[in-house]
Chains A and B, each alone.
Chain A
Amino acid sequence: MKPGDTLVVEARDLDSLLAALRQRGHTLIGPTRRDGAIVLGEIGGASDLPVGWSDEQDGGRYRLRRREDSAYFGYAASPHAWKRYLHPPTVVRWRAHRDDGGFVAEPDTAPPPRYAFVGVRPCELAAILVQDRVFLGGPFVDPAYLSRRESAFILAVSCGSPGGTCFCTSMGTGPKAGPGFDLALTEVIDGRHDLVVEVGTERGAEVAAGVPHRPAEAADFYAARAVLAAAEGNMGRSLDTAGLKDALYRHYEDPRWDEVAKRCLACSNCTMVCPTCFCATVEDETDLVGRATERRRIWDSCFSQEFSYVHGGSVRTSGGARYRQWITHKLATWHDQFGVSGCVGCGRCITWCPVGIDITAEARAVGPGEAQGGRR
């Protein structure tokens, strides 16, 4: 078994695969049904997955619905992104205690968790690689991110049921998983229920070898490709990225941003659900006696008023300026900062915006092509 091999695992043996990961000391994180949504959380085995459930997504709309089959991964995207685990919402960066006028700042010495991410969508995998550039690509490597990232096992799952807000094909991030996974599976349900598994790394090979499997044959490849082809044709949204970066730079002062601002609540849902958004703030929390303090890194959003505060006031006070900051960062300046687009086409920002603001529609309105609605 080596990287590049493709094998077939029967659906009922998925549990063995997950158990193998648990045995190797990984904490399984995967999708699970809770509170009327498919969210990410710690799972015990295959039965914790949202078996037979799918989701309906549109601008400002999310519902679960039952499928007719018992697909493990028959939904599009969870409101959660894997950044919850690699770039957690709250991280203690260091602790300090005061003694005799001086103080000592000590790093957080808790061992980083070893995760196995079960069910990473291709768009989400692309998002992880984007965040790798942010946290690992500069002159300063973030140790908190690095330690979690190195030990995380990635079990990617190709998308068979894209949602109403998906546009990964436009962004080149799916529906097939790109490089970066340990194992990638495509769920095939056509009479049989199989998982066509592609091995990505040595680590993945080692895990897969211990699970009941058979080598993939022509029919399996064909079936997997059919799933992907169907997914490609089923995108809920589209985005023409040709010339988009330059168009957004040109339209920095477009009055459209003030129009969007009339609807935008600056609730920052989009930044929280976006798998690439990485902005964070720093808080120092001190105990009541003033002897011990913790420096925490906490998720932040460019939509907040205080985000751009310098003495005298915030640089971006108007809603239009803040929306403009988010969309031009995501689709334009991100390219100049990190060499890729900040958007992976997962559609979460559209789904979870309370007023359904659609990034594809906004981009199209100022994009190089004709302005049309955001739907296919």
Chain B
Amino acid sequence: MTIHTFEKVLGEHPFFKDLPEPHLDTVVGCVANVVFQPGEFIFREGQAADHFFVVREGKVAVEVFVPNKGPVTIETIEGGEVLGWSWLFSPYKARFDARALNSVRALSLDGACLRTKCEKDPTLGYELLKRFTEVVVSRLEATRMQLLDLYGRD
């Protein structure tokens, strides 16, 4: 993929919508194309969280491994969504497992590289933080709804 295509793909992705040009250029500089096979782990709990992923196609299961139970899926992420936020926060280690449920095409962004750039240019940091906060908030709201167990027997 050429730089131009990356720019186009990123710019069209809901997560990066309206990101000012210069920042988009910076981000593009940290982008790579990735493909995951069904069942392949995208990241493991405890691993260094060096990347985050912009999912283009496919379905990813965010899992927790529960002893005596096995892996439990707590949420599924699909095309148009973003996967991974631990690269933003110390100790920069993944908190969950992420596993491709089918063939997943995504853009992988170098978190370590972006962190450095954000320190140097706080406006870039602010733009990224705004977007990630929105993701975290909506996941929190959804999790709360799931916790309410609305369909459960009361």
Contact = CB atoms under 8 A, between A and B. Distances in A.
Direct contact of A and B (CB under 8 A): yes
Interface residues of B, number: 1
Nearest to B152: A312
A82 B154 CA distance: 42
A311 B154 CA distance: 8
Interface string A5-20: 0000000000000000
Interface in A167-193: none
Interface string A345-358: 00000000000000
A312 B154 CA distance: 5
A227 B83 CA distance: 84
A313 interface: yes
Provide the main secondary structure of the chain B interface.
loop
Contacts of B154: 311-313
Interface in B126-154: 154
Contacts of A312: 154
Nearest to A311: B154
A313 B154 CA distance: 8
A374 B154 CA distance: 44
Interface string A306-339: 0000011100000000000000000000000000
A144 to B, nearest CB: 36
Contacts of A311: 154
Interface string A31-58: 0000000000000000000000000000
Contacts of A313: 154
A311 B152 CA distance: 11
A213 B154 CA distance: 70
A196 B91 CA distance: 96
B25 to A, nearest CB: 52
Interface in B13-71: none
B2 to A, nearest CB: 57
A258 to B, nearest CB: 25
A244 B140 CA distance: 44
Interface in A91-121: none
Nearest to B154: A312
B98 to A, nearest CB: 36
Nearest to A310: B154
B86 to A, nearest CB: 38
Nearest to A313: B154
Nearest to B150: A312
A50 to B, nearest CB: 53
B151 to A, nearest CB: 11
B139 to A, nearest CB: 27
A351 B154 CA distance: 41
Interface in A294-316: 311-313
B15 to A, nearest CB: 38
B56 to A, nearest CB: 42
3 contacts: A311-B154, A312-B154, A313-B154
Interface of A: 311-313
Closest 3 CB pairs of A and B: A312-B154, A311-B154, A313-B154
